[in-house]
Chain A
Amino acid sequence: AQTVTQSQPEMSVQEAETVTLSCTYDTSESDYYLFWYKQPPSRQMILVIRQEAYKQQNATENRFSVNFQKAAKSFSLKISDSQLGDAAMYFCALGGQGGSEKLVFGKGTKLTVNP
């Protein structure tokens, strides 16, 4: 069975600082995808970043980057120059290949950004 673990229920960061959210996962698949989704108070799930497991290069999207360690099954999210609008729940998700493959979500990390 596939599992995703987010060990930090809550995190806080000062505006303009950097924060890293942790995620570990377990899967027996060799090809899979990893995602970070953001859920602000509006509850709209927003894709933050996506990583294909076969790619060694870590994905980057502007201020968001990941540290993907395949052997360790670790997939952390780094947010640089944190902004007030980054405050949200962040969910790590694991997905398999194929159209009907489900996403397995972690329990989420609530990020607070302090001004």
Chain B
Amino acid sequence: GAVVSQHPSWVICKSGTSVKIECRSLDFQATTMFWYRQFPKQSLMLMATSNEGSKATYEQGVEKDKFLINHASLTLSTLTVTSAHPEDSSFYICSARDGVWGGDTQYFGPGTRLTVL
């Protein structure tokens, strides 16, 4: 149980284009999902917290208009990187909290590697 998927696992795009990353909880309902960014050999940096049906809460320094988060259902959250630039290249990881049975444990997706040319 408690499986989280991410799609795509790897994406290359041109500078100026937008990229959407999906995060799905496959076998549980996730009232809250989190989006992280991880640079090589570093820890995870929380970008935003999203609750189903409401606006995401962004961490300080994260551009809301650049990283659009939508949590339209209890099993799906999306992160859209708008007008991507090379400095947005990174590893993006989502996590989901099982609000019914999982207590406060976050389960992580496998991550998405974004390369912006």
Which residues on A are within 8 Å of B, measured CB to CB?
33, 35, 37, 42-47, 50, 52, 91, 95-103, 105-108
Q: Are A44 and B49 in contact (CB under 8 A)?
A: no
> Is B103 positioned at the interface, with any CB of A under 8 Å from its CB?
yes
Residues of A within 8 A of B57 (CB): 100
- Could you name 17 residue pairs across A and B whose Cβ atoms are closer than 8 Å? A33-B104, A37-B108, A43-B93, A45-B108, A50-B105, A91-B43, A95-B104, A97-B104, A98-B104, A99-B32, A99-B51, A99-B99, A105-B44, A106-B43, A107-B42, A108-B42, A108-B43
Give Cα A49 to B5, complex, Å: 21
Chain B hits for A91, CB < 8 A: 43-44
Interface extent on B, as a size class?
20 to 34
Chain B interface, DSSP helix/strand/loop, else mixed: strand
B46 touches A102 (CB 8 A): yes
Known A107-B42, A108-B43; contact A43-B110, beta-carbon cutoff 8 A = yes
Residues in A with CB closer than 8 Å to B44 are 45, 91, 105
CA distance A108 to B43 in the complex (A): 6
Q: How far is the CA of A107 from the CA of B106 in the complex (A)?
A: 18
Instruction: Take A99-B31, A100-B49, A105-B43 as given contacts and tell me if A33 and B110 are in contact as well, using a CB distance cutoff of 8 Å.
Output: no
Does A100 lie within 8 Å of B110, measured CB to CB? no
CB distance from A21 to the nearest CB of B (A): 14
Closest to B51 in A: A100
